[in-house]
Amino acid sequence: MKPYLLGIDIGTSACKIAVFDREGHVKASASGNYRVYYPREGWAQQDPREWWEAVCQAVRKALDAGNIRPEEIAGIGIDGQSWSAIPVDQDGNVLCDTPIWMDTRAADICRELKDAVGADTIFELSGNSLQPSYTTAKILWYRRNVPEIYRKIYKILQSNSYIAYRLTGQMTQDLSQGYGLHCFDMRTGTWDEEMCGKLDIPMSMLPKIVPCHQVIGTVTGKAAEECGLTEGIPVVAGGLDAACGTLGAGVIHPGECQEQGGQAGGMSICTDTYRADQRLILGFHVVPGHWLLQGGTTGGGGVMRWLEREFAAYEREEGRRTGKSSLELFNEEAAEVPAGSDGVLFLPYMSGERSPIWNPGAKGVYYGLDFSKTKGHFIRAAMEGVAFSLRHNLEAAREAGADVQMLRAMGGSANSLLWTQIKSDVVGKPITVPSSDTATTLGAAILAGVGVGMYRDFEEAVSLTVKDKRSHEPLKENQAVYEEAYQKYLKLYENLKDMMK
Protein backbone atom coordinates (compact mmCIF):
# COMPACT_ATOMS: atom_id res chain seq x y z
CA MET A 1 0.00 0.00 0.00
CA LYS A 2 1.27 3.46 -0.87
CA PRO A 3 2.08 5.47 2.27
CA TYR A 4 0.07 8.69 1.96
CA LEU A 5 -3.47 10.05 1.77
CA LEU A 6 -4.42 13.46 0.36
CA GLY A 7 -7.23 15.51 1.93
CA ILE A 8 -8.76 18.49 0.14
CA ASP A 9 -10.99 20.96 1.99
CA ILE A 10 -13.08 23.50 0.04
CA GLY A 11 -13.75 26.12 2.69
CA THR A 12 -15.49 29.45 2.40
CA SER A 13 -12.42 31.66 2.23
CA ALA A 14 -9.76 29.18 1.12
CA CYS A 15 -9.01 25.61 0.20
CA LYS A 16 -6.71 23.60 2.43
CA ILE A 17 -4.60 20.70 1.27
CA ALA A 18 -2.92 18.20 3.58
CA VAL A 19 -1.00 14.98 3.01
CA PHE A 20 -1.20 12.45 5.86
CA ASP A 21 0.56 9.22 6.64
CA ARG A 22 -1.38 6.23 7.95
CA GLU A 23 -1.06 7.43 11.57
CA GLY A 24 -2.57 10.84 10.75
CA HIS A 25 0.66 12.84 10.85
CA VAL A 26 0.70 15.80 8.48
CA LYS A 27 3.55 15.34 6.04
CA ALA A 28 2.79 18.44 3.97
CA SER A 29 0.13 21.11 3.72
CA ALA A 30 -0.75 24.24 1.77
CA SER A 31 -3.70 26.51 1.14
CA GLY A 32 -5.11 28.64 -1.65
CA ASN A 33 -7.34 31.67 -1.33
CA TYR A 34 -10.34 32.78 -3.37
CA ARG A 35 -13.01 35.38 -3.06
CA VAL A 36 -16.59 35.54 -1.87
CA TYR A 37 -18.60 37.96 -4.03
CA TYR A 38 -21.42 40.05 -2.57
CA PRO A 39 -23.03 41.69 -5.63
CA ARG A 40 -26.27 42.58 -3.80
CA GLU A 41 -27.63 42.57 -0.28
CA GLY A 42 -28.39 39.01 0.73
CA TRP A 43 -26.23 37.55 -2.04
CA ALA A 44 -23.01 35.62 -1.36
CA GLN A 45 -21.52 33.65 -4.22
CA GLN A 46 -18.30 32.07 -5.45
CA ASP A 47 -16.82 30.90 -8.73
CA PRO A 48 -16.13 27.14 -8.49
CA ARG A 49 -13.49 27.47 -11.18
CA GLU A 50 -11.52 29.60 -8.73
CA TRP A 51 -11.77 26.72 -6.24
CA TRP A 52 -10.19 24.39 -8.78
CA GLU A 53 -7.40 26.84 -9.61
CA ALA A 54 -6.65 27.24 -5.90
CA VAL A 55 -6.67 23.45 -5.40
CA CYS A 56 -4.24 22.93 -8.27
CA GLN A 57 -1.84 25.55 -6.94
CA ALA A 58 -2.07 24.29 -3.36
CA VAL A 59 -1.55 20.62 -4.30
CA ARG A 60 1.63 21.48 -6.20
CA LYS A 61 2.83 23.65 -3.32
CA ALA A 62 2.16 20.93 -0.73
CA LEU A 63 3.86 18.18 -2.71
CA ASP A 64 6.89 20.37 -3.31
CA ALA A 65 7.12 21.51 0.32
CA GLY A 66 6.88 17.98 1.66
CA ASN A 67 9.12 16.47 -1.03
CA ILE A 68 6.33 14.00 -1.74
CA ARG A 69 6.10 12.16 -5.03
CA PRO A 70 2.53 12.03 -6.43
CA GLU A 71 2.83 8.29 -7.02
CA GLU A 72 3.15 7.82 -3.23
CA ILE A 73 -0.48 8.92 -2.70
CA ALA A 74 -2.85 6.00 -2.16
CA GLY A 75 -6.11 7.93 -2.34
CA ILE A 76 -7.76 11.33 -2.32
CA GLY A 77 -10.71 12.54 -0.21
CA ILE A 78 -12.52 15.85 -0.61
CA ASP A 79 -14.76 17.78 1.73
CA GLY A 80 -16.57 21.00 1.04
CA GLN A 81 -18.81 23.73 2.30
CA SER A 82 -22.54 23.07 2.38
CA TRP A 83 -25.47 24.01 0.18
CA SER A 84 -23.78 24.89 -3.08
CA ALA A 85 -25.83 24.78 -6.26
CA ILE A 86 -23.24 24.53 -9.01
CA PRO A 87 -24.94 24.38 -12.43
CA VAL A 88 -22.90 22.53 -15.03
CA ASP A 89 -23.70 21.63 -18.61
CA GLN A 90 -23.20 18.21 -20.18
CA ASP A 91 -19.53 18.95 -20.78
CA GLY A 92 -19.02 19.93 -17.15
CA ASN A 93 -18.71 23.65 -17.80
CA VAL A 94 -19.79 25.87 -14.88
CA LEU A 95 -22.67 28.01 -16.11
CA CYS A 96 -22.53 30.71 -13.42
CA ASP A 97 -21.25 31.45 -9.93
CA THR A 98 -22.85 29.37 -7.20
CA PRO A 99 -24.72 30.94 -4.29
CA ILE A 100 -23.07 29.63 -1.11
CA TRP A 101 -24.37 28.79 2.35
CA MET A 102 -24.60 32.45 3.39
CA ASP A 103 -26.79 33.41 0.43
CA THR A 104 -30.43 34.28 1.18
CA ARG A 105 -31.64 35.62 -2.18
CA ALA A 106 -34.31 32.92 -2.53
CA ALA A 107 -36.31 33.81 0.60
CA ASP A 108 -39.44 34.64 -1.41
CA ILE A 109 -39.29 31.30 -3.23
CA CYS A 110 -39.14 29.48 0.11
CA ARG A 111 -42.25 31.25 1.34
CA GLU A 112 -44.10 30.35 -1.85
CA LEU A 113 -43.06 26.69 -1.66
CA LYS A 114 -44.12 26.41 1.97
CA ASP A 115 -47.58 27.67 0.99
CA ALA A 116 -47.83 25.56 -2.17
CA VAL A 117 -46.35 22.25 -0.98
CA GLY A 118 -46.66 22.62 2.79
CA ALA A 119 -43.85 23.27 5.23
CA ASP A 120 -44.74 20.18 7.27
CA THR A 121 -44.84 17.97 4.16
CA ILE A 122 -41.39 19.12 3.12
CA PHE A 123 -39.99 18.68 6.62
CA GLU A 124 -41.49 15.21 7.06
CA LEU A 125 -39.54 13.87 4.08
CA SER A 126 -36.30 15.82 4.24
CA GLY A 127 -35.90 16.28 7.99
CA ASN A 128 -35.05 19.94 7.44
CA SER A 129 -37.07 23.12 7.26
CA LEU A 130 -37.06 24.91 3.92
CA GLN A 131 -34.67 27.87 4.12
CA PRO A 132 -33.12 30.09 1.42
CA SER A 133 -29.58 29.06 2.38
CA TYR A 134 -30.21 25.44 1.28
CA THR A 135 -29.65 24.20 -2.27
CA THR A 136 -33.34 23.62 -3.08
CA ALA A 137 -34.49 27.22 -3.46
CA LYS A 138 -31.30 28.19 -5.30
CA ILE A 139 -32.11 25.77 -8.11
CA LEU A 140 -35.58 27.27 -8.43
CA TRP A 141 -34.08 30.75 -8.30
CA TYR A 142 -32.07 29.87 -11.43
CA ARG A 143 -35.23 28.80 -13.24
CA ARG A 144 -37.09 31.98 -12.35
CA ASN A 145 -34.34 34.55 -12.75
CA VAL A 146 -31.82 33.19 -15.27
CA PRO A 147 -33.87 30.88 -17.54
CA GLU A 148 -31.20 31.01 -20.25
CA ILE A 149 -28.80 29.35 -17.78
CA TYR A 150 -31.39 27.00 -16.30
CA ARG A 151 -32.14 25.50 -19.75
CA LYS A 152 -28.50 24.46 -20.11
CA ILE A 153 -28.18 22.73 -16.72
CA TYR A 154 -27.23 19.06 -16.94
CA LYS A 155 -26.42 18.48 -13.26
CA ILE A 156 -26.37 20.41 -9.99
CA LEU A 157 -23.18 19.69 -8.05
CA GLN A 158 -21.97 20.36 -4.52
CA SER A 159 -18.59 21.86 -3.66
CA ASN A 160 -16.75 18.59 -3.06
CA SER A 161 -18.47 16.81 -5.94
CA TYR A 162 -17.36 19.57 -8.33
CA ILE A 163 -13.71 19.09 -7.33
CA ALA A 164 -14.20 15.32 -7.55
CA TYR A 165 -15.56 15.84 -11.07
CA ARG A 166 -12.55 17.94 -12.06
CA LEU A 167 -10.27 15.19 -10.78
CA THR A 168 -12.10 12.17 -12.22
CA GLY A 169 -14.66 13.29 -14.81
CA GLN A 170 -17.42 11.65 -12.73
CA MET A 171 -20.47 13.63 -11.54
CA THR A 172 -21.77 12.32 -8.22
CA GLN A 173 -23.67 13.33 -5.10
CA ASP A 174 -22.31 12.07 -1.80
CA LEU A 175 -24.73 10.99 0.92
CA SER A 176 -23.79 13.63 3.51
CA GLN A 177 -24.49 16.58 1.19
CA GLY A 178 -27.95 15.27 0.27
CA TYR A 179 -29.48 17.26 3.11
CA GLY A 180 -29.21 20.44 1.04
CA LEU A 181 -32.11 19.31 -1.15
CA HIS A 182 -35.62 18.85 0.19
CA CYS A 183 -36.41 16.10 -2.31
CA PHE A 184 -33.88 13.95 -0.44
CA ASP A 185 -35.41 11.34 1.85
CA MET A 186 -33.52 11.71 5.11
CA ARG A 187 -34.57 8.29 6.35
CA THR A 188 -33.50 6.27 3.30
CA GLY A 189 -30.81 8.48 1.74
CA THR A 190 -32.47 8.48 -1.69
CA TRP A 191 -34.05 11.01 -4.03
CA ASP A 192 -37.84 11.08 -3.74
CA GLU A 193 -39.50 11.27 -7.15
CA GLU A 194 -42.84 12.50 -5.82
CA MET A 195 -41.26 15.40 -3.92
CA CYS A 196 -39.09 16.26 -6.94
CA GLY A 197 -42.36 16.68 -8.81
CA LYS A 198 -43.92 18.84 -6.09
CA LEU A 199 -40.86 21.08 -5.95
CA ASP A 200 -40.52 21.04 -9.74
CA ILE A 201 -36.91 19.90 -9.63
CA PRO A 202 -36.12 17.46 -12.48
CA MET A 203 -34.61 14.24 -11.14
CA SER A 204 -32.32 14.25 -14.17
CA MET A 205 -30.49 17.24 -12.66
CA LEU A 206 -29.61 15.28 -9.53
CA PRO A 207 -26.45 13.14 -9.64
CA LYS A 208 -26.33 9.56 -8.44
CA ILE A 209 -26.01 9.29 -4.64
CA VAL A 210 -22.98 7.37 -3.41
CA PRO A 211 -21.45 6.59 0.02
CA CYS A 212 -18.88 9.15 1.11
CA HIS A 213 -16.00 6.66 1.22
CA GLN A 214 -16.79 5.04 -2.13
CA VAL A 215 -14.17 5.32 -4.87
CA ILE A 216 -15.92 7.13 -7.73
CA GLY A 217 -13.01 7.18 -10.19
CA THR A 218 -9.34 7.94 -10.60
CA VAL A 219 -7.36 11.05 -11.43
CA THR A 220 -7.47 11.67 -15.16
CA GLY A 221 -4.49 12.58 -17.27
CA LYS A 222 -5.83 16.10 -17.77
CA ALA A 223 -6.37 16.66 -14.04
CA ALA A 224 -2.94 15.22 -13.24
CA GLU A 225 -1.33 17.67 -15.63
CA GLU A 226 -3.24 20.61 -14.14
CA CYS A 227 -2.59 19.93 -10.46
CA GLY A 228 0.67 17.98 -10.41
CA LEU A 229 -0.73 14.59 -9.44
CA THR A 230 -0.30 11.21 -11.08
CA GLU A 231 -2.94 9.70 -13.33
CA GLY A 232 -4.83 6.80 -11.77
CA ILE A 233 -4.94 7.82 -8.08
CA PRO A 234 -8.31 6.68 -6.60
CA VAL A 235 -10.70 9.45 -5.52
CA VAL A 236 -13.60 8.92 -3.11
CA ALA A 237 -16.84 10.89 -3.16
CA GLY A 238 -16.00 12.83 0.00
CA GLY A 239 -18.53 14.80 2.01
CA LEU A 240 -19.72 17.85 3.87
CA ASP A 241 -16.94 19.81 5.57
CA ALA A 242 -18.68 19.76 8.96
CA ALA A 243 -19.19 15.99 8.70
CA CYS A 244 -15.60 15.34 7.66
CA GLY A 245 -14.43 17.61 10.46
CA THR A 246 -16.62 15.63 12.84
CA LEU A 247 -14.92 12.43 11.70
CA GLY A 248 -11.48 14.05 11.90
CA ALA A 249 -12.25 15.15 15.46
CA GLY A 250 -12.97 11.53 16.39
CA VAL A 251 -16.77 11.74 16.62
CA ILE A 252 -18.09 8.44 15.26
CA HIS A 253 -20.30 7.09 18.07
CA PRO A 254 -23.85 8.09 19.10
CA GLY A 255 -23.89 10.90 21.67
CA GLU A 256 -20.48 12.28 20.73
CA CYS A 257 -20.41 15.92 19.60
CA GLN A 258 -18.13 18.06 17.48
CA GLU A 259 -17.92 21.82 18.13
CA GLN A 260 -17.18 23.75 14.97
CA GLY A 261 -14.85 26.73 15.06
CA GLY A 262 -14.29 27.51 11.41
CA GLN A 263 -15.69 30.44 9.44
CA ALA A 264 -19.13 29.30 10.57
CA GLY A 265 -19.95 28.07 14.05
CA GLY A 266 -22.16 25.36 15.46
CA MET A 267 -22.05 21.72 16.46
CA SER A 268 -22.67 18.21 15.11
CA ILE A 269 -24.09 15.47 17.32
CA CYS A 270 -23.67 11.89 16.13
CA THR A 271 -26.77 9.71 16.39
CA ASP A 272 -27.80 6.31 15.10
CA THR A 273 -31.46 7.31 15.32
CA TYR A 274 -33.39 9.63 13.00
CA ARG A 275 -33.90 12.84 15.01
CA ALA A 276 -35.32 15.78 13.12
CA ASP A 277 -36.16 19.16 14.62
CA GLN A 278 -37.36 22.18 12.65
CA ARG A 279 -34.92 24.43 14.51
CA LEU A 280 -31.86 22.35 13.62
CA ILE A 281 -30.18 20.70 10.65
CA LEU A 282 -30.21 16.94 10.04
CA GLY A 283 -27.89 15.18 7.64
CA PHE A 284 -26.15 11.87 7.16
CA HIS A 285 -22.74 11.47 8.75
CA VAL A 286 -19.89 10.46 6.46
CA VAL A 287 -19.71 7.37 8.70
CA PRO A 288 -22.26 4.82 7.40
CA GLY A 289 -25.34 4.15 9.50
CA HIS A 290 -25.24 7.45 11.37
CA TRP A 291 -26.81 10.88 11.16
CA LEU A 292 -25.58 14.25 12.40
CA LEU A 293 -27.99 16.56 14.21
CA GLN A 294 -26.38 19.91 13.57
CA GLY A 295 -26.55 23.51 14.61
CA GLY A 296 -25.11 25.83 11.99
CA THR A 297 -24.50 29.51 12.68
CA THR A 298 -23.17 32.28 10.46
CA GLY A 299 -21.10 33.72 13.30
CA GLY A 300 -18.13 31.51 14.14
CA GLY A 301 -14.48 32.14 13.54
CA GLY A 302 -15.58 34.52 10.80
CA VAL A 303 -16.59 37.02 13.48
CA MET A 304 -13.00 37.25 14.70
CA ARG A 305 -11.74 37.38 11.11
CA TRP A 306 -14.01 40.40 10.53
CA LEU A 307 -12.92 42.10 13.76
CA GLU A 308 -9.26 41.54 12.93
CA ARG A 309 -9.66 42.83 9.38
CA GLU A 310 -11.45 46.01 10.38
CA PHE A 311 -10.01 46.89 13.81
CA ALA A 312 -6.58 45.28 14.21
CA ALA A 313 -4.30 47.81 12.52
CA TYR A 314 -2.52 48.46 15.82
CA GLU A 315 -2.23 44.74 16.62
CA ARG A 316 -0.80 43.97 13.20
CA GLU A 317 1.86 46.65 13.65
CA GLU A 318 2.57 45.58 17.23
CA GLY A 319 2.74 41.97 16.08
CA ARG A 320 5.51 42.79 13.62
CA ARG A 321 7.47 44.34 16.47
CA THR A 322 6.87 41.56 19.03
CA GLY A 323 6.68 38.50 16.79
CA LYS A 324 3.10 37.74 17.81
CA SER A 325 0.08 37.44 15.57
CA SER A 326 -2.69 40.03 15.68
CA LEU A 327 -5.06 37.31 16.91
CA GLU A 328 -2.73 36.44 19.78
CA LEU A 329 -2.80 40.09 20.81
CA PHE A 330 -6.59 40.13 20.46
CA ASN A 331 -6.71 37.20 22.89
CA GLU A 332 -4.51 39.05 25.36
CA GLU A 333 -6.76 42.12 25.22
CA ALA A 334 -9.90 40.01 25.69
CA ALA A 335 -8.34 38.16 28.62
CA GLU A 336 -8.06 41.48 30.50
CA VAL A 337 -11.88 41.73 30.50
CA PRO A 338 -13.85 39.72 33.07
CA ALA A 339 -16.38 37.01 32.17
CA GLY A 340 -19.58 38.64 30.98
CA SER A 341 -17.68 41.54 29.37
CA ASP A 342 -18.96 44.00 31.99
CA GLY A 343 -22.43 43.77 30.50
CA VAL A 344 -21.52 44.05 26.79
CA LEU A 345 -23.47 41.56 24.68
CA PHE A 346 -22.98 40.59 21.05
CA LEU A 347 -25.47 38.95 18.69
CA PRO A 348 -23.25 37.17 16.11
CA TYR A 349 -25.75 37.28 13.24
CA MET A 350 -23.30 38.66 10.69
CA SER A 351 -24.94 37.22 7.58
CA GLY A 352 -28.45 36.60 8.80
CA GLU A 353 -28.66 33.58 11.05
CA ARG A 354 -29.27 29.90 10.54
CA SER A 355 -30.19 27.57 13.39
CA PRO A 356 -32.01 27.74 15.67
CA ILE A 357 -33.70 31.07 14.77
CA TRP A 358 -33.61 30.83 10.93
CA ASN A 359 -33.83 34.53 10.25
CA PRO A 360 -32.07 35.65 7.04
CA GLY A 361 -32.68 39.25 8.08
CA ALA A 362 -30.99 38.94 11.47
CA LYS A 363 -28.19 41.43 12.11
CA GLY A 364 -25.13 41.55 14.30
CA VAL A 365 -25.60 43.73 17.38
CA TYR A 366 -23.40 45.10 20.16
CA TYR A 367 -25.35 46.08 23.29
CA GLY A 368 -24.21 47.59 26.56
CA LEU A 369 -21.62 50.11 25.42
CA ASP A 370 -20.49 53.16 27.36
CA PHE A 371 -17.35 55.29 27.57
CA SER A 372 -15.64 52.82 29.90
CA LYS A 373 -15.58 50.02 27.32
CA THR A 374 -12.41 49.08 25.46
CA LYS A 375 -11.48 47.14 22.38
CA GLY A 376 -11.00 44.18 24.68
CA HIS A 377 -14.70 44.34 25.58
CA PHE A 378 -15.63 44.17 21.89
CA ILE A 379 -13.38 41.16 21.34
CA ARG A 380 -14.44 39.20 24.43
CA ALA A 381 -18.13 39.99 23.89
CA ALA A 382 -17.80 38.62 20.34
CA MET A 383 -16.28 35.41 21.69
CA GLU A 384 -19.05 35.11 24.24
CA GLY A 385 -21.77 35.83 21.67
CA VAL A 386 -20.55 32.96 19.49
CA ALA A 387 -20.51 30.74 22.60
CA PHE A 388 -24.10 31.76 23.39
CA SER A 389 -25.16 30.77 19.86
CA LEU A 390 -23.53 27.37 20.44
CA ARG A 391 -25.46 26.94 23.69
CA HIS A 392 -28.69 27.97 21.95
CA ASN A 393 -28.23 25.14 19.46
CA LEU A 394 -27.22 22.60 22.09
CA GLU A 395 -30.34 23.39 24.09
CA ALA A 396 -32.51 22.88 21.01
CA ALA A 397 -30.77 19.54 20.42
CA ARG A 398 -31.35 18.46 24.02
CA GLU A 399 -35.05 19.23 23.63
CA ALA A 400 -35.00 17.07 20.48
CA GLY A 401 -33.62 14.18 22.53
CA ALA A 402 -29.92 14.51 21.67
CA ASP A 403 -28.05 15.55 24.80
CA VAL A 404 -24.26 15.47 25.01
CA GLN A 405 -21.83 15.32 27.90
CA MET A 406 -18.64 16.45 26.17
CA LEU A 407 -17.66 18.33 23.02
CA ARG A 408 -14.68 17.87 20.70
CA ALA A 409 -13.57 21.18 19.19
CA MET A 410 -12.12 21.75 15.73
CA GLY A 411 -11.31 24.67 13.46
CA GLY A 412 -9.13 27.72 13.86
CA SER A 413 -11.10 29.07 16.82
CA ALA A 414 -10.08 26.04 18.86
CA ASN A 415 -6.50 27.35 18.80
CA SER A 416 -7.59 30.10 21.17
CA LEU A 417 -7.38 28.75 24.72
CA LEU A 418 -9.43 31.70 25.96
CA TRP A 419 -12.24 31.26 23.42
CA THR A 420 -12.42 27.51 23.98
CA GLN A 421 -12.59 28.06 27.75
CA ILE A 422 -15.36 30.63 27.28
CA LYS A 423 -17.35 28.09 25.27
CA SER A 424 -16.83 25.44 27.95
CA ASP A 425 -17.98 27.88 30.64
CA VAL A 426 -21.02 29.04 28.67
CA VAL A 427 -22.31 25.57 27.73
CA GLY A 428 -21.27 24.05 31.05
CA LYS A 429 -19.58 21.03 29.47
CA PRO A 430 -15.98 19.82 29.02
CA ILE A 431 -14.36 20.49 25.65
CA THR A 432 -11.52 18.37 24.28
CA VAL A 433 -9.34 19.69 21.45
CA PRO A 434 -7.72 17.25 19.02
CA SER A 435 -5.51 18.55 16.19
CA SER A 436 -7.92 21.36 15.44
CA ASP A 437 -6.39 22.83 12.28
CA THR A 438 -6.34 19.55 10.40
CA ALA A 439 -9.53 17.82 11.57
CA THR A 440 -11.45 18.54 8.37
CA THR A 441 -8.76 17.54 5.90
CA LEU A 442 -7.98 14.52 8.11
CA GLY A 443 -11.63 13.46 7.91
CA ALA A 444 -11.52 13.69 4.12
CA ALA A 445 -8.29 11.69 4.07
CA ILE A 446 -9.79 9.03 6.39
CA LEU A 447 -12.64 8.58 3.91
CA ALA A 448 -10.06 7.92 1.22
CA GLY A 449 -8.13 5.57 3.51
CA VAL A 450 -11.21 3.48 4.26
CA GLY A 451 -12.23 3.59 0.60
CA VAL A 452 -8.92 2.23 -0.70
CA GLY A 453 -8.45 -0.25 2.15
CA MET A 454 -5.66 1.45 4.09
CA TYR A 455 -7.91 1.17 7.17
CA ARG A 456 -10.05 -1.82 8.05
CA ASP A 457 -12.89 0.45 9.17
CA PHE A 458 -13.61 3.84 10.73
CA GLU A 459 -12.87 2.59 14.23
CA GLU A 460 -9.34 1.65 13.24
CA ALA A 461 -8.85 4.88 11.32
CA VAL A 462 -9.86 7.11 14.25
CA SER A 463 -7.87 5.11 16.80
CA LEU A 464 -4.74 5.52 14.70
CA THR A 465 -5.09 9.13 13.58
CA VAL A 466 -7.01 11.28 16.10
CA LYS A 467 -4.84 12.59 18.91
CA ASP A 468 -6.09 14.88 21.69
CA LYS A 469 -3.97 17.94 22.53
CA ARG A 470 -5.74 19.46 25.53
CA SER A 471 -9.05 19.68 27.38
CA HIS A 472 -11.07 22.38 29.14
CA GLU A 473 -13.41 22.00 32.12
CA PRO A 474 -16.12 24.61 32.81
CA LEU A 475 -15.12 27.02 35.57
CA LYS A 476 -17.73 27.11 38.31
CA GLU A 477 -16.95 30.72 39.21
CA ASN A 478 -18.16 31.84 35.77
CA GLN A 479 -21.41 29.87 35.67
CA ALA A 480 -23.67 32.47 37.31
CA VAL A 481 -22.48 35.43 35.27
CA TYR A 482 -22.81 33.50 32.02
CA GLU A 483 -26.26 32.22 32.92
CA GLU A 484 -27.46 35.78 33.44
CA ALA A 485 -25.73 37.02 30.28
CA TYR A 486 -27.19 34.15 28.21
CA GLN A 487 -30.74 34.93 29.29
CA LYS A 488 -30.16 38.57 28.32
CA TYR A 489 -28.73 37.39 24.99
CA LEU A 490 -31.94 35.50 24.23
CA LYS A 491 -34.10 38.41 25.34
CA LEU A 492 -32.10 40.91 23.28
CA TYR A 493 -32.87 39.04 20.07
CA GLU A 494 -36.53 38.59 21.01
CA ASN A 495 -36.83 42.34 21.56
CA LEU A 496 -35.10 43.20 18.27
CA LYS A 497 -36.29 40.50 15.87
CA ASP A 498 -39.28 42.49 14.58
CA MET A 499 -36.82 45.11 13.37
CA MET A 500 -34.72 42.44 11.60
CA LYS A 501 -36.84 41.91 8.54
Closest to 269 in 3D by CA, of 369, 151, 399: 399
Rg (CA), the chain: 22
Same CATH fold assignment for domains 4-250+435-465 and 301-429+473-499: yes
Three-class secondary structure assignment of 294-340:
EEEECCCHHHHHHHHHHHCHHHHHHHHHHCCCHHHHHHHHHHCCCCC
* In contact, 17 and 6? CB cutoff 8 Å: yes
**Per-residue pLDDT, 1:** 80
Taking CA 25 as the corner, what is the angle to CA 20 and CA 30, rounded to the nearest 5 degrees?
55
Distance (Å, rounded) from C-alpha 70 to C-alpha 72? 5
Would you put residue 250 in left (φ > 0), alpha (ψ -120 to 50) or beta? left
Distance (Å, rounded) from C-alpha 159 to C-alpha 168? 14
Distance (Å, rounded) from C-alpha 126 to C-alpha 36? 29
Cβ contacts of residue 332 below 8 Å, gap of 6+? Answer: none
Alpha helices, DSSP H, located in 92-214: 107-113, 119-126, 135-145, 147-150, 159-168, 193-199
- Domains of the chain, by residue range, sit at 4-250+435-465, 301-429+473-499
Handedness of CA 76, 82, 88, 94 (dihedral sign): negative
pLDDT digit of tens for each residue in the chain (501 aa)?
A: 899 999 999 999 899 999 999 999 999 999 999 999 999 999 999 999 999 999 999 999 999 999 999 999 999 999 999 999 999 999 999 999 999 999 999 999 999 999 999 999 999 999 999 999 999 999 999 999 999 999 999 999 999 999 999 999 999 999 999 999 999 999 999 999 999 999 999 999 999 999 999 999 999 999 999 999 999 999 999 999 999 999 999 999 999 999 998 888 999 999 999 999 999 999 999 999 999 999 999 999 999 999 999 999 999 999 999 999 999 999 999 999 999 999 999 999 999 999 999 998 999 999 999 999 999 999 999 999 999 999 999 999 999 999 999 999 998 899 999 999 999 999 999 999 997 678 999 999 999 999 999 999 999 999 999 999 999 999 999 999 999 999 999 999 999 999 998
Alpha helices, DSSP H, located in 169-252: 193-199, 221-227, 241-248
Architecture of domain 301-429+473-499: 2-Layer Sandwich (3.30)
Distance (Å, rounded) from C-alpha 129 to C-alpha 282? 10
**Per-residue pLDDT, 436:** 61
For the chain, the first-to-last Cα distance in angstroms comes to: 56
The domain 4-250+435-465 belongs to what CATH superfamily?
ATPase, nucleotide binding domain (3.30.420.40)
Distance (Å, rounded) from C-alpha 255 to C-alpha 325? 36
What is the amino acid identity at position 173? Answer: Q
Distance (Å, rounded) from C-alpha 189 to C-alpha 168? 24
Q: What is the DSSP letter of 207?
A: P
* In contact, 174 and 211? CB cutoff 8 Å: yes
Chain centroid to CA 302: 12
